[in-house]
Amino acid sequence: MINASILYSLAIILTTISFIKDRKKTKEALLKSWKMFCNILPEVLTIMLFVGLSLSLLTPTMVSSIIGEHSGVKGIILSTLIGSVGLIPSFIVFPLGETLVQNGAGLPQVAVFMSTLMSVGIITLPMEQKLFGRSFAYARNASGLLMSLLFAYIIWLVMV
């Protein structure tokens, strides 16, 4: 895996090269990216707040009691709904999934929960629509949901 300091260094070096090559275009690009950042900042902060509150309120023990090994299709549906709320990065999702399995959650339920957490985002949908357009945002979320359910079904067939 690439270290963050390497990526930051590379970004600084390439920005410097761009600045040396054409100052005007580089300044315009930096100003445009700053404006884009400022435009999406309120949505990003709202998402971060919601995810933080969700992770603190929905403890792994509480979630695993709802989506335990014997919850079956009901647990898969609940996992899909809970996981579809927010879009969370994998470095948070994988340890959460491990904790859920250790606390008695079923593998298909955890599989669909983790998959939807990383690929479907109801909370992020307005921001996605703003940045990428309505049809793309809906298509991406729908395909993420379908693939997550397919993934859970395969896990159910193989592991249970």
Beta bridge partners of 105: 68
CB 26 within 8 A of CB 19: yes
| Model pLDDT for residues 102-153, shown as the tens digit of each residue | 878 889 999 999 999 999 988 888 889 988 999 999 999 999 999 999 999 9
User: CA 120, 126, 127 angle in degrees (round to 5)?
Assistant: 85
CB 100 within 8 A of CB 64: yes
Cα of 145 vs its chain's centroid, Å: 12
Higher pLDDT, 88 or 158: 158
State the pLDDT at residue 98. Answer: 84
Amino acid in position 141:
N
State the pLDDT at residue 115. Answer: 94
State the pLDDT at residue 90. Answer: 79
Q: First CA to last CA across the chain, in angstroms? A: 33
Q: How many residues does the chain have?
A: 160
Alpha helices, DSSP H only, in the chain? Answer: 4-21, 23-57, 60-66, 72-83, 90-102, 107-119, 125-132, 134-159
State the pLDDT at residue 39. Answer: 86
Q: Which two tokens stand for residue 53?
A: 């509150």
| Model pLDDT for residues 46-89, shown as the tens digit of each residue | 767 776 776 677 777 676 678 888 888 999 999 999 889 877 77
CB 120 within 8 A of CB 85: no
Which distant-in-sequence residues (6+ apart) come within 8 Å of 137 by Cβ?
125, 128, 129
